[in-house]
Structure 1
Amino acid sequence: MIRLTRFNESVFVLNAELIQTIEETPDTVITLVNGQKILVLEDSQKVIEKVVEYKRNIFTSHSLGEFSKEKEV
């Protein structure tokens, strides 16, 4: 999940796994896999950074969890 800001400055959390495309038109428009479009204040590079950080956290946590389980055995 990533935290983003709508144009009315309300903050919301988006499931990053649902992002299909990110466009700057010049505003940043995120299109979800279901076709829904969301307009956000963050530029596309910032959204990408948040997605990468989110995925890095998931994969790092998963890898560490696997390592910990192997050590316990």
Structure 2
Amino acid sequence: MIKLTKFKSHDHDFVLNAELIETIEETPDTVITLTNGKKLIVAEGMDEVVRRVMEYRRAMFRNTR
């Protein structure tokens, strides 16, 4: 799970299951498309979302050893 902020709502954080992410685009807003087709627009940039997903997956891998 990764913590993100809803676009134009800097005080509304939410947690997203990173395993549901299909694509991330900057158009210029960051749009996350989930495996079910739902689209989310977030305040974080694409590179930051990718960094958080990678950090989440590294933590999951460490816990399986």
TM-score range, shorter chain: over 0.9
Unpaired runs of 5+ in structure 1? Answer: 64-73
Task: Give the count of matched residue pairs.
Answer: 63
Where do residues 43-62 of structure 1 align in structure 2 (5 Å cutoff)? 43-62=45-64
Unpaired runs of 5+ in structure 2? Answer: none
Moved over 2 A (4+): none
Q: Which has the higher contact order (CA 8 A, sep 6+)?
A: 2
Identity of aligned residues (%): 57
Q: CA deviation at 1:4?
A: 0.2
CA-based RMSD? 0.5
| TM-score, structure 1 normalization | 0.85
| TM-score, structure 2 normalization | 0.95
Q: CA deviation at 1:3?
A: 0.1
Which has the larger share of helix?
A: 1
